[in-house]
Structure 1
């Protein structure tokens, strides 16, 4: 007998999805490094979120809800692709924290706001070094020792790491530039001896270069002025000077035509010179500032013919330095002295029978002047020579007779002679000479008549004077006779 029959019914139950699942990001935190020089609209990251729902409930779209205030980033709402849409600058902002939302298309939509993207901007060498101050200027004493620090060169680089690490070097220098720079610290130091008198100003450049790839650099100018120290003493052009000055030079006369001066290679007070006379010589003074030597008292060749002036030039540096020169002043004689006779007057005698050119006496004069000004000659010219009866030897001063004399005509002479020097103009001095003519018995007695008639009274007593006969004799002394009386 047939068994019971059964019927099978297939039931298809479709479970309709309900939007009960929230999208989940594939990572809790996304980290991405982006070079700051990335080109705009470049993709830097793609995020994803999954939703266990189906269909529209599982369709996810994305957006940035915070951390993008400057608008540097954009996200594709469908693909989750994040792009840089504005330039980045490591030096402005080094990290961006983007908060993302993943939202499904359910009704009502569900979303997840926990997506975090850390965009870390990496540095590129896009900033050259910048000097703190420019141009760089400094001063240094020329006595600064080697190794002395003068100037600190500083530059900054806003990049990072090697891109900001700098090295320094000097540019535009030569082998004779007395400075070096520490490549790491930027300190400029003295590398060799300085001499302001050789070079006072140094001009060169400095370069700051970073270690980036490629490296960037900056340049600046450097001026270093070498300051003077008193390392030079004054120097006269000559160690000795020789000058001549007339003894009649007026007070205030310049002793030398060119001012005797010294030079000092230093500057300022180190080169300001003061002049001194080492010895106090009353006849001379020196201007302390100019070195001009002038006469301040009269000279007299006959008292002193030469002067030696020791002149010191001293600078006003610290410590003071000096130099000394010598000026020999030779006094020129001028004819300012007349001849002077050794005696105020002269007396002599000569026999009247002396032959012509007999020496009568010698006169003598001296002259304190020198050379021709002191050479004396003697003359009767414009004087009194006894009407030509006397002459004088010009060099010896011997007075001689010119002809025989006659005491009975001229018993004595009053002569005037001159001592004349050879200066220009000459000076002359007169002297009085008295010459006595000495008698000789050169005249016989002379009666007044050849015949005498005498009358005698016959009663005249014996012994009575009957007449007196007188004879004359022009001679004198024993050469002259007395008158005799005739007996009556």
Structure 2
């Protein structure tokens, strides 16, 4: 059916509601099932999908679901076959109580389109509840004077089931005295009563025991029972009687409050209230008895109430009466004599006087620490006191007189091992129940200056860059003193000595309290490579104790010296060098050599030579060796070359930043006949000699570096194997390499151990090896150019290994 609607949003919502209501009415229906209570899990209830007219294949797509009012987990539907089954235990009595009708209402909902079905599952009762009496035992008290035919009402049993399963019948075991009377209407259980058929005689039978049984009408039949205990009451014709007329009791004087003194037991042959007895003190009662004792009226127990003291009262006389609860009460009497026994109830007292504290740790054995006196107010053995002190301490007690002791030093003291002792002096008397008392003494050990300050290491190695600012902090020494207070207050000072011609204090200083070492002036690597000195740590004790630590301060080189050209007289071409060159020389001919030195060391002293471009951009027929400074021809000279050649050579080190110097070489080109032969031979011979020297040096340097490398690897391996994992490469007692804060971002990249002389020794001797395949300070392009060089590069590689 199609609808055409032009109303507003409200009208459209109303139309949608009407459509949903119509769909619900069209799909509503009701199905009835039944199931017995206590059915097992999975018990078949009904084919719900089939009975509701739903296809099994539609259950999941149409969102088939079941809702239940109350507990929804009792029944469940299998979506595969549409069967309703029991999911969990069903207890009809729990669901509906004793209601005759009991059903579970299910609401089945499916969507697309929406349909709602109502399913009612009736829960049928089974006989699963036996009759239950309100109590398992019923006590009935009947006086022996009651006449026959007297009725005594009884409580009937309760059955949670309904119908026939709850129809109850009663019976009682056969006897001569009682019968059971019940009504024909099984529902009226309140009419159940017990009828006395014969007079009771307490002297013959004091108690009757009957078993009342209730049977229901279910199949199988269930029963419930209650035991009837019938007590026959007697007439009060007997008075209570005690076992003795006089009781004697002994009580220790230190018993706790509430201690049982005696339990009286009076007997009465009567029964019930006629035989119930109440105990009390017979009046008049003395105040001393009321203060010290209390009696339980029901049990007859007499207990202590106040503190007993043998010294105050040694004997108490207590009169007691027992009265029954009959209509005409009857009473019995007795007397209790309570004797108080004296005991050791006074503990010793300890008094400590004349303390001599604190005790110096160098005190002599036998030094008196304190005087101790003890006392006990008891007499005899109870008043004899012995004293002892805490075991395993360097102190002992010495008896000087009766009940007087002295606490003396028994062995040497060491404050660094134990600074204080908590002693407990125990005094114990000689009573059979020995009592004791304690007194605490805290003995503080006074410090004696018996420990010198100690450094963690005997020697430290520090690295500092040269040209440091004056007053910069280069290291901190720290020594610990195991003593206390003034004896542990450490001050630091330099162990003065001469460094060359100057005093050590002109180079460094140490802060007396913090141990910080400062450089007083800029250090110069070229002047002083190693500064070795000692710092003394001394405590403030009397007399003071001290120890020294050695500091090895290595001054690291910085690039602060520019290359210096050697003068011509020293074998080089320093400044402006003039040289005559014959035009007939071939390519690779060494013309002259520029020599320079650098006062720095390492990379900072590694020099390279560059030929600056000529003015006008003309290509020069000469070149300079990158590391040798040798000026040689790149080709054969011809007539086109200018007669006078001026070469500008730039000498540069490898520091950061690099420093440079320049040398000017003036070359005069002449014909071969005009060139000085001696000079030519001299130049050629010098070149050959230089090449031979370079090769020799190269072989020696390579052997030395190889040997040094092998020794370094072996040393590093041995140190790593011998050192603990947490202590790095340096074991205990070995010098430690320390980079001071003045070095800033510089780091010592390789762990080496160098034996270097102190500042007083001879000048430095450094060996530096650089890889010929990749110089550290060259760019990749320069490195590639050097690797492509042939014989000339072989001559230049010797400068990688500089012995200065």
| Whole-angstrom distance in 2 between the partners of 1:409 and 1:398 | 20
Structure 1 residues 136 and 149, CA, compared in 2 at 3 Å: closer, same or farther? closer
- Kindly indicate whether the alpha-carbon contact (under 8 Å) linking 1:135 and 1:221 is maintained by their aligned counterparts in 2: no
Q: Could you tell me which residue of structure 2 aligns to residue 426 of structure 1?
A: 658
Q: Could you tell me which residue of structure 2 aligns to residue 360 of structure 1?
A: 591
- Kindly indicate whether the alpha-carbon contact (under 8 Å) linking 2:355 and 2:369 is maintained by their aligned counterparts in 1: no
| Whole-angstrom distance in 2 between the partners of 1:310 and 1:386 | 63
| Whole-angstrom distance in 2 between the partners of 1:409 and 1:138 | 106
Structure 1 residues 161 and 289, CA, compared in 2 at 3 Å: closer, same or farther? same
Name the SS for the 1:248 alignment partner.
Answer: coil
Q: Could you tell me which residue of structure 1 aligns to residue 471 of structure 2?
A: 252
- Kindly indicate whether the alpha-carbon contact (under 8 Å) linking 2:536 and 2:548 is maintained by their aligned counterparts in 1: yes
- For this pair of structures, how many residues does the alignment match? 319
Query: Deviations for 1:1-26, whole angstroms, at most 9, x for unmatched residues?
Result: xxxxxxxxxxxxxxxxxxxxxxxxxx
Name the SS for the 2:604 alignment partner.
Answer: helix
Q: Could you tell me which residue of structure 1 aligns to residue 621 of structure 2?
A: 389
Q: Could you tell me which residue of structure 2 aligns to residue 233 of structure 1?
A: 452
- Kindly indicate whether the alpha-carbon contact (under 8 Å) linking 2:449 and 2:542 is maintained by their aligned counterparts in 1: yes
- Kindly indicate whether the alpha-carbon contact (under 8 Å) linking 1:254 and 1:294 is maintained by their aligned counterparts in 2: yes
Q: Could you tell me which residue of structure 2 aligns to residue 178 of structure 1?
A: 394
- Kindly indicate whether the alpha-carbon contact (under 8 Å) linking 1:337 and 1:369 is maintained by their aligned counterparts in 2: yes
Q: What's the offset of the Cα at 1:130?
A: 3.5
- Kindly indicate whether the alpha-carbon contact (under 8 Å) linking 2:593 and 2:631 is maintained by their aligned counterparts in 1: yes
Which structure is higher in RCO with an 8 Å CA cutoff and minimum separation 6?
Answer: 1
Query: Deviations for 1:258-279, whole angstroms, at most 9, x for unmatched residues?
Result: x320111101010000111102
Q: What's the offset of the Cα at 1:441?
A: 7.4
| Structure having the higher Rg | 1
| Whole-angstrom distance in 1 between the partners of 2:356 and 2:440 | 9
- In terms of fraction of residues, the more strand-rich structure is 1
Q: Could you tell me which residue of structure 1 aligns to residue 540 of structure 2?
A: 316
Name the SS for the 1:186 alignment partner.
Answer: strand
Name the SS for the 2:526 alignment partner.
Answer: coil
| Whole-angstrom distance in 1 between the partners of 2:673 and 2:445 | 109
- Kindly indicate whether the alpha-carbon contact (under 8 Å) linking 1:147 and 1:190 is maintained by their aligned counterparts in 2: yes
| Whole-angstrom distance in 2 between the partners of 1:396 and 1:219 | 95
| Whole-angstrom distance in 2 between the partners of 1:325 and 1:274 | 13
TM score, norm. by length of structure 1: 0.58
Query: Deviations for 1:111-134, whole angstroms, at most 9, x for unmatched residues?
Result: xxxxxxxxxxxxx98865434458
| Whole-angstrom distance in 1 between the partners of 2:359 and 2:471 | 46
Structure 2 unaligned blocks of 5 or more: 1-252, 254-308, 313-342, 497-503, 568-574, 675-804
| Whole-angstrom distance in 1 between the partners of 2:576 and 2:371 | 98
| Whole-angstrom distance in 1 between the partners of 2:627 and 2:441 | 86
Query: Deviations for 1:177-208, whole angstroms, at most 9, x for unmatched residues?
Result: 11101134421111112111111111121123
Q: Could you tell me which residue of structure 2 aligns to residue 274 of structure 1?
A: 491
Q: What's the offset of the Cα at 1:226?
A: 0.7
- In terms of fraction of residues, the more helix-rich structure is 2
Q: Could you tell me which residue of structure 2 aligns to residue 18 of structure 1?
A: none
Q: What's the offset of the Cα at 1:370?
A: 1.0
Q: Could you tell me which residue of structure 2 aligns to residue 138 of structure 1?
A: 357
TM score, norm. by length of structure 2: 0.36
| Whole-angstrom distance in 1 between the partners of 2:636 and 2:427 | 121
Name the SS for the 2:408 alignment partner.
Answer: strand
| Whole-angstrom distance in 2 between the partners of 1:383 and 1:182 | 108
- Kindly indicate whether the alpha-carbon contact (under 8 Å) linking 2:579 and 2:592 is maintained by their aligned counterparts in 1: yes
> What does 1:401-416 align with in structure 2 at a 5 Å threshold?
401-405=633-637, 410-416=642-648
| Whole-angstrom distance in 2 between the partners of 1:337 and 1:186 | 84
Query: Deviations for 1:212-246, whole angstroms, at most 9, x for unmatched residues?
Result: 78776432111101111111111100011112111
Q: Could you tell me which residue of structure 1 aligns to residue 481 of structure 2?
A: 264
